[in-house]
Structure 1
C-alpha cells in the first residue's frame, strides 16, 4: 500500500532516468511526453520538482512532477508503473504534490486532463473518463478556458481538447464560490506556453486561450457541468507551434 512506502523528492539524476524509462514512457504517448533531456534540464534547474516512490530494487515505481510559476503551480506527469497500479499510490502522490505546492505559498494548484468527449481510452495510456473522475475525487474544478496542451518545442504538435482544472486555490484569489482571479492565470499561461513551445504564438488558438483569461475572473465548473466548458479544439493551421 502507498502508506507503507515513503514518497520522496527525486533529486538524483539516476532516479529521474528510472522514472522516465520505467514509468513515464509506459504511461504517456510521445506527443505528450517531453524528451528525457528536456525533463533533466527542468529538474536540474528546479523549474520542475519530482516526487515518487522507489522500490526495493532502486527503480522508481510511480512519479508526479510539479511545475511552479510564481503563484501558480501545475501538476505534471502523475504516473504509476503498469505493474504497480492500485493501492492508493496515485492519490497519495497527488496529495503530496498539492501539499508541497501549498507549502511553497502558491495560490493555485492546476492540472491538465484530456477531455473524455474528445480522447478515447487507450490500453496503455489509460481512460480519460476514469482519470477525470479520479481528479474529481480530489477536488478538481474546471476552468472556463478553451485549453489545449502546448507543443513540446517549436514546430511540434499540440494536443487539442484538454481541460485545465484547479485542484486547490487560496482564499485570496477566490471571486465568490465559483470563480478565481484571472490575472495570475493569464501570466502563468503566457509563461508556460512560451517556455513549452519556445515562443508565444499569436495564432487564433492562443488568442482564444488568452482572451478567456483577459477579464477580472475566470469561472470554475464542476465536473458534472463539463458540457459548459469550452473545448480547446484546434483548426488544422493551429495544430503545430510556430517555428522559432
Structure 2
C-alpha cells in the first residue's frame, strides 16, 4: 500500500500510518528527531511505551525519506486521545501538522469506534510561549483544524513513574458539532488516570477536582471556540509536585 502524498510548504510529503505499515527505523527517527525535541520530558511517554504498545497509533509525515512530522494517539472507550502532534522545528506552520490530522484522524477514529478525538493543549494563561512552542498559536492551529474546546480544566497524569503531572491544560475536541456527554468525559478522565497512575475517584484530590469540574457542567458539555479559552475555569486544588506521593 502506497502512503498518500500531499502538498505542504516544503513540497510533497508522504503520510505513513505506522499502525498499518510498520517501519521500526522510521518510528525511532520520528521519536528521536520530532517528538523528543518538541515536548518537555515530563509530558512525553518513553520510547518503549510509544513503540511497544499494541494499541498506540502512530503516523509520520516524511519529506525526501526523512520524518518531518509525527502524530500519536491512544484509544479509550468512546474517546481517541490525540497524545502528541509535532512538526520538525523550522517548518512549522507549513501544513504538515494539518495534513497529518486531516488524513489520519478520521481513519483512526473510525477504526477505534471513537465518538470524539480529544487533545491536551496548554492553557496560555498558565503556560507562556517558550522553547516548546506558543500555546496561543497552538490553539489557533487546532481551531483552524476544526477542533472545539471543552469548558473544563485538565491536568495530564504522570506519563512515567519518574515524571510529574502537567497542570494547566485544556481539552480540545474533534468533531465538535454539538454538546458532549459529561458521562463520556468523566469516563475518559477516570480511565486515563487509572491506566497512567493506577489511581481512581475518591483516592486523589486532584482527580476528584477534575471530575467535579466535568460534573458541574451538567449532563452535557457545550463546546467553546478555542479563542474563548479564558472562559474555562481554572482548577482550584494544589498540583502534586515532583517527589510527592499519593
TM-score of the pair, normalised by structure 2: 0.84
Residue matched to 1:81: 88
Displacement after TM superposition at 1:212 (Å): 2.7
> Does residue 5 in structure 1 map to residue 13 in structure 2?
yes
Residue matched to 1:128: 135
Q: Quick one: structure 1 residues 191 and 52, their matched pair in 2 at CA, closer, same or farther if it must change by over 3 Å?
A: same
CA contact (8 A) 2:155 2:168 kept: yes
Return 5+ residue gaps in structure 2 as ranges: 1-6
Residue matched to 2:206: 205
CA contact (8 A) 1:154 1:199 kept: no
Q: Residues of 2 paired with 1:195 and 1:222: CA distance?
A: 30
Q: Residues of 1 paired with 2:195 and 2:225: CA distance?
A: 29
Residue matched to 2:232: 229
Q: Residues of 2 paired with 1:68 and 1:98: CA distance?
A: 12
Displacement after TM superposition at 1:81 (Å): 1.3
CA contact (8 A) 2:46 2:160 kept: no
Q: Residues of 2 paired with 1:61 and 1:155: CA distance?
A: 29
Q: Quick one: structure 1 residues 97 and 242, their matched pair in 2 at CA, closer, same or farther if it must change by over 3 Å?
A: farther
CA contact (8 A) 1:16 1:40 kept: yes
Q: Residues of 1 paired with 2:197 and 2:221: CA distance?
A: 24
Judging by fraction of residues, say which structure has more strand.
Answer: 2
TM-score of the pair, normalised by structure 1: 0.85
Count of residues paired in the alignment: 231
Displacement after TM superposition at 1:235 (Å): 1.2
Provide, for residues 160-187 of structure 1, a one-character-per-residue CA deviation record: whole Å limited to 9, x for no partner: 1100111214x7xx4xxxx211122211
